[in-house]
Amino acid sequence: MPGFAVRYAWRGLAASMVAVAWGTLGYGLFLSPHDQQAWDGLEAGGRFAANLSVYLPYLALTLPVAVVVVLGLLPAPRLLSPLLATTVGIALFVWWVTVQDYLFDAQPQLSACLVGCVAADAGAVGALTAAWVRAGRQPNTASPRDARQVA
């Protein structure tokens, strides 16, 4: 049972890091100080494109990310793959936001938030790796190779 507790601790840390990464991205998009003149300089199509291609997907993906984080924090044996898929999805979304370079003029602190998001995402991958390695070293479990050696 101690092996499960250590694996759960690493999985909980990974889930927390995923939440921090997603929250940092949300802060950069919605709450960071913005340059109103840069937003006014965009034509109506540019603002509509930003809302449709960045802000709306962020809001739509917030609920699935929250569900994965909550499930990752529950103390039950679960797969690590949903958390890993979420970290990859966050990294892809950060890349997508980075491609929309007009946002950096309107949201000057967005680049710092993206760096923080990538750092938290990398921390989540590290914690997931530690949980996965720990899962492979569970006490009182025998591998099929060990069973063949005994027989």
Cα separations (Å) of 138 from 7, 40, 64, 132?
9, 58, 30, 11
Tens digits of per-residue pLDDT, 77-131? 777 889 999 999 999 999 999 998 888 888 889 999 999 999 999 999 999 999 8
Higher pLDDT, 102 or 151: 102
Tens digits of per-residue pLDDT, 35-81? 777 777 777 667 777 778 888 999 999 999 999 999 988 877 777 88
Tens digits of per-residue pLDDT, 131-144? 888 776 554 444 45
Tens digits of per-residue pLDDT, 11-33? 999 999 999 999 999 999 999 88
Q: What are phi and psi of 111, to 5 degrees?
A: -65, -40
* pLDDT for res 140: 46
Q: Give the burial string for 88-126 (b: 16+ CB within 10 Å, else e).
A: ebbbebbeebeeeeebbebbeebeebbebbbebbebbbe
Q: What are phi and psi of 42, to 5 degrees?
A: -75, 140
Domain limits, the chain: 2-138
